[in-house]
Amino acid sequence: MLKIRLQRVARKHIPIFRVVLTDSRNSTKSGKFHEVLGTYNLVTDEKRVNAERVKYWISKGAQPSGTVHNFLVGERIIPGKKINVLPRRRPIVKEAKPEEKPVQDGSASGGKEEVKTKGSAEKPAETPVAQAA
């Protein structure tokens, strides 16, 4: 199956791309492509696409990648709506917290033990203040 993809041409931090026709089994970084269909320079905002060849290859069964599809729709070479090519957001999975075990207090009054759990608010015992005479 043939794909129409963007191939990076320039160095790091210099976004210049070729629009190429390649086999779907080839990576764009491999450099193996059948035909150069255009260029896309983001630095100077220069866009050159051979519309006739793009339409020809699409009629022969070549499929544009999502980004190239949006590029061709933006240039009005092919009709249609742009598609969302952003990765899907995964829901945030919180780690399962182990159940809180009750903590037993060692000081027992009257033979009864108080059971306390983490996070329970404990009021300090009020002590009478001795008044100085």
In a domain, 53, yes or no: yes
Q: How confident is the model at residue 111, as a pLDDT?
A: 54
In a domain, 36, yes or no: yes
In a domain, 16, yes or no: yes
In a domain, 79, yes or no: no
* Joined tokens for residue 82: 């742009």
Distance of CA 64 to the CA centre of its chain: 21
> How many Cα neighbours within 13 Å face the side chain of 11?
0
In a domain, 13, yes or no: yes
Query: Which residue, 70, 23, 71, 80, is CA-closest to 48?
Result: 71
Q: What is the pTM of this model?
A: 0.59
Q: What single-letter DSSP state applies at residue 12?
A: T
- Mean pLDDT, consecutive 10-residue stretches, the chain (133 aa), reads 79 86 74 84 89 92 90 91 86 71 59 56 61 60
The domain of 9 spans 2-74
Q: How confident is the model at residue 89, as a pLDDT?
A: 80
Q: How confident is the model at residue 52, as a pLDDT?
A: 93
In a domain, 123, yes or no: no
In a domain, 18, yes or no: yes
* Joined tokens for residue 62: 């070549």
| Number of domains, the chain | 1
Q: How confident is the model at residue 105, as a pLDDT?
A: 60
For the chain, first and last CA: distance in Å?
A: 100
The CATH number covering residue 7 comes to 3.30.1320.10
Q: How confident is the model at residue 130, as a pLDDT?
A: 63
In a domain, 80, yes or no: no
